């Protein structure tokens, strides 16, 4: 087992983020802007307000319900510090954020007077006026608490409630090591203006390491360091040198606050210490929510707890009910009340069996196998009602099959669009892309949470729904029904291009997953591996961690690979299928397809550009390009000797009819080809750990396909591979035809 706090890589992405360019003038990202990658929701409106020559940039998310104003904290970060709150709260509220002076798209003054707390209060008022907001619940973090309290004290009509997260105020005891000697010079001694001027990245790594004391915080630290690079050292110095109210001024402000308030405080806050939040709650007579094990920025590391608490608090402020003051000891935990919503509860024996299927939208293979499982489940449990929580293009497949799609599916942020945006050419760093999808995954988990909170399901089946598995393990008390976890690979594996830093990150992610299962072994009521034990890679999860196969065999049941069809009729009736699909006997059909992926246009273009070499090597060839549901076929070159098609719903039948296929390294399409025993060439996405390692291992076991890396895929190499493979009689291991029934049997036991 790896240590609970594994070492963090020293290398971070330290360049200033793109949205700091054109300060005060640049617009927020649009859907096609690289800055939008990983964002669950883009702003509905944006602008900036000029305050004495300093532009203050603001954004509005959502257009209904009570307003929420997210105040800036220390200018060391931009308004993106609220990224884990905005998409969720904006579903029912008008959420306003603005970048602090010094960072983001706001101006960067270097005069300490420009960073006085009163200036931030005036910025907030100017933003409220510019956005036509008469009043709002004000949410703050750390240093932002001083500004929020001053705003509420001096302008009570504009503030209907206060949420103070880890308030940095002159009350309570400071953190001990902030005032202790630092002989190594690597701790709080870096908190000096000279240190910032000479080596700001070093300070940022230390500081945010103290902000995020929770294990497995590599992503949060990496992103915060990048935000910190958005403020010039001289502006950071000025922000720290600003005059702030002392203890008496703060107590005076607290005495004048009349609105309800909530304090959220991490018990392991290593920046201001937990005592300050407790003392603020006592002074205000506020509700207090202690996040056990939480650090200084729980809204990033414990976003589910924080988001639900904010929503419940805002709802009560909106209805005029002052939240009750805590009657427990301020040091005790106080869990948020479930959100007020319409619920339907049916008597246990009198209600139908209901299952919620959540199918990953990254590739259509999950949808195909999940439909096959659903069909088998209905055979075993005819009274079973299945709802689907899914997003495009999975919903297209489900609608064609006549399935019931839950209305909340329309609230889901697009995971497939993010993955497509993360790709470049025929390269997709899948592990890093998923790391950068944290905001989207949280937003989608909270959609799922609201669905299962409001309705009764006997069972949830999560097919690689990473958001559900992660956040339920982080907040197991939110589990509402039996849970089946399904996946076709286990273990994050590093790419050599990522070096030692990526190896540390994948080890950390694997360690977190193992710790989740060890701590809550019954949260997953059943884990199903879509395959067999021999399909598991012979690798370790990382130094000090178990072997992947040994661990998986201990924690999973095995269904065999699920194709969703019986391959025998396709193999035996291949000539009839060719005639039905319009392929002539004298043609040598080469099908080039990327399956359901939005990534792969570069491969299609590369093969199309090789058409002359292919034609010379394979006389009578018919070259057919299938773009799939996510790539516009009109974007591909059309020539007399290259046929281009859009989405082909039953692609596996065309694969069975073809003489050879050229495909990506995705598991679904390659295993469909293995099942129908057709020769194929597969070109895995570069830096895609699943395609280059997990899938490649499985295909090698099945003796299926010939691998050709994209870097080596010249026109001559493509033509040679096709010519060599097209007449080969595959010696492929048979693929199970009963795997969907086996998976359904494992699931049905929980019903």
CA nearest to 490, candidates 543, 440, 531: 531
| 384-431 pLDDT, tens digit each | 999 999 998 889 889 999 999 999 999 999 998 899 889 999 999 999
Q: Is 454 helix (H, G, I), strand (E, B) or coil?
A: helix
* Superfamily covering domain 567-725: Glycogen Phosphorylase B; (3.40.50.2000)
Q: What whole-number distance in Å separates Cα of residue 485 and Cα of residue 342? A: 28
Can you give the residue ranges of every domain in the chain? 18-318, 353-563+741-748, 567-725
pLDDT, position 566: 93
Residue 165's pLDDT band (cuts 50, 70, 90): very high
Q: Is 405 within 8 Å of 399 (Cβ atoms)?
A: yes
pLDDT 10s digits, 271-316: 999 999 999 999 999 999 999 999 999 999 999 999 999 999 999 9
pTM for the full predicted model: 0.89
Would you state the structure tokens that stand for residue 716, as one six-digit string? 């001559």
Fold of the domain spanning 18-318:
Rossmann fold (3.40.50)
The topology (CATH level 3) of 353-563+741-748 is Rossmann fold (3.40.50)
pLDDT at 348 over 60: no
DSSP 480-534: -SEEEEEES-------GGGHHHHHHHHHHHHHHHHHHHHH-TTTSSEEEESS-GG
Same fold, 353-563+741-748 and 567-725: yes
In whole angstroms, give the CA distance from residue 387 to residue 448: 12
Q: Which residues, including other chains, have CB under 8 Å from residue 645's CB and lie 6 or more apart?
A: 624, 625, 626, 627, 633
Sheet holding 261-266, edge to edge: 45-51, 54-61, 94-98, 67-70, 136-141, 159-165, 261-266, 287-291
* Burial environment of residue 53 by CB neighbours within 10 A (0 to 12, 13 to 18, 19 or more): exposed
CA–chain centroid gap for 26, Å, is: 26
Average pLDDT over residues 543-560: 98
- Please state the rounded mean pLDDT for residues 670-691: 96
The kind and range of the H/E element at 214 are none
Q: Across the chain, what does the average pLDDT equal? A: 89
Among 1-10, 456-465, 478-487, whose mean pLDDT is lowest?
1-10
Q: What is the mean pLDDT of residues 691-695?
A: 97
pLDDT in tens, 58-77: 999 998 889 999 999 999 99
pLDDT band at 233 (very low <50, low <70, confident <90, very high): very high
Length of the chain in terms of residues written: 751
Quote the strand ranges of 52-208, DSSP E: 54-61, 67-70, 94-98, 136-141, 159-165
Predicted confidence band at 179 (pLDDT cuts at 50, 70, 90)? low
pLDDT tens track for 494-535: 999 999 999 999 999 999 999 999 999 999 999 999 999 999
What 8-state DSSP symbol labels residue 143? Answer: T
What would the pLDDT profile of 66-118 be if each residue is shown by its tens digit? 999 999 999 999 999 999 999 999 999 999 999 999 999 999 999 999 999 99
Measure Cα distances from 150 to 50, 119, 170, 245 in Å: 21, 11, 14, 10
Residue 241: strand, helix, or coil? helix
Return d(Cα 658, Cα 590) in angstroms, integer. Answer: 6
């Amino acid at each position: 087992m790896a240590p609970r706090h594994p070492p963090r890589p020293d290398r971070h992405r330290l360049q200033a983020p793109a949205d700091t360019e054109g300060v005060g003038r640049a617009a927020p990202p649009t859907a096609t802007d690289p800055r939008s990658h990983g964002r669950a929701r883009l702003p509905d409106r944006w602008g900036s307000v000029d305050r004495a020559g300093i532009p203050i940039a603001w954004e509005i998310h959502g257009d209904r319900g009570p307003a929420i104003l997210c105040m800036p904290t220390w200018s060391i970060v931009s308004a993106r510090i609220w990224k884990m709150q905005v998409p969720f709260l904006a579903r029912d509220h008008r959420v306003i954020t603005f970048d602090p002076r010094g960072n983001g798209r706001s101006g960067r003054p270097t005069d300490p007077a420009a960073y006085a707390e009163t200036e931030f209060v005036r910025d907030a008022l100017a933003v409220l006026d510019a956005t036509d907001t008469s009043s709002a619940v004000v949410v703050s973090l750390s240093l932002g608490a001083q500004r929020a309290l001053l705003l509420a004290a001096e302008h009570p009509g504009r503030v209907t409630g206060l949420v103070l997260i880890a308030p940095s105020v002159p009350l309570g005891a400071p953190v001990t090591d902030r005032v202790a000697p630092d002989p190594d010079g690597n701790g709080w001694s870096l908190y000096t203006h000279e240190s910032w001027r000479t080596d700001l990245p070093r300070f940022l790594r230390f500081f945010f390491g103290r902000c995020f004391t929770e294990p497995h915080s590599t992503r949060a630290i990496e992103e915060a360091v990048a935000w910190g690079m958005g403020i010039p050292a001289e502006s950071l110095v000025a922000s720290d040198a600003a005059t702030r109210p002392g203890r008496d001024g703060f107590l005076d402000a607290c005495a004048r606050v009349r609105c309800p308030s909530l304090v959220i405080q991490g018990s392991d806050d290593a920046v201001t210490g937990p005592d300050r939040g407790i003392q603020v709650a006592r002074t205000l007579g506020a509700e207090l929510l202690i996040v056990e094990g939480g650090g200084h920025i729980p809204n990033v590391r414990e976003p589910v707890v924080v988001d639900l608490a904010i929503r419940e608090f805002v709802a009560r402020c909106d209805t005029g009910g002052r939240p009750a003051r805590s009657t427990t000891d301020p040091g005790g935990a106080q869990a948020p009340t479930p959100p007020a919503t319409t619920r339907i509860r049916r008597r246990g024996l009198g209600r139908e069996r209901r299952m919620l299927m959540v199918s990953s939208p990254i590739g259509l293979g999950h949808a195909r196998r999940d439909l096959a499982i659903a069909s088998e489940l209905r055979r075993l449990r005819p009274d079973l009602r299945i709802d689907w929580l899914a997003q495009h293009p999975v919903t297209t497949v489900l609608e064609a099959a006549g399935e019931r799609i839950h209305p909340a599916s329309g609230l889901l942020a697009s995971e497939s669009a993010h993955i497509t945006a993360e790709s470049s050419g025929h390269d997709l760093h899948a592990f890093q892309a998923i790391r950068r999808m944290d905001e989207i995954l949280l937003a989608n988990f909270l959609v799922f949470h609201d669905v299962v909170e409001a309705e009764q399901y006997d069972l949830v089946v999560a097919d690689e729904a990473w958001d559900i598995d992660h956040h339920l393990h982080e907040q197991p008390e939110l589990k509402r029904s039996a849970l089946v976890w399904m996946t076709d690979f286990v273990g994050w594996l590093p790419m050599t291009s990522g070096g030692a830093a990526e190896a540390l990150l994948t080890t950390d992610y694997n360690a977190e997953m193992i710790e989740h299962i060890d701590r809550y072994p019954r949260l997953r009521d059943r884990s199903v591996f879509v395959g067999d034990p021999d399909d598991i890679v012979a690798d370790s999860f990382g130094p000090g961690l178990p072997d992947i196969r040994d661990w998986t065999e201990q924690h999973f049941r095995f269904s065999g690979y699920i194709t969703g069809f019986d391959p025998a009729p396709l193999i035996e009736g291949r000539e009839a299928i060719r005639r039905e699909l319009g392929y002539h006997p004298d043609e040598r059909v080469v099908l080039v397809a990327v399956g359901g992926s939005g990534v792969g246009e570069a491969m299609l273009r590369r093969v199309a550009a090789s058409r002359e070499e292919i034609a010379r090597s394979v006389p009578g060839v018919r070259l057919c390009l299938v773009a799939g549901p996510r790539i516009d076929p009109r974007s591909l070159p059309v020539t007399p000797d290259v046929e281009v098609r859009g989405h082909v719903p039953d692609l596996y039948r065309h694969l069975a009819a073809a003489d050879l296929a050229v495909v990506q390294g995705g598991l679904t399409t390659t295993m469909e080809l293995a099942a129908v025993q057709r020769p194929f060439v597969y070109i895995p996405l570069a830096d895609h750990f699943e395609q280059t390692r997990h899938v490649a291992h499985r295909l090698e076991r099945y003796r299926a396909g010939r691998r050709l890396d994209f870097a080596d895929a010249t026109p001559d190499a493509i033509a040679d591979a096709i010519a060599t493979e097209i007449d080969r009689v595959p010696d492929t291991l048979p693929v199970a035809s009963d795997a969907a029934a086996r998976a359904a049997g494992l699931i049905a036991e929980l019903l």
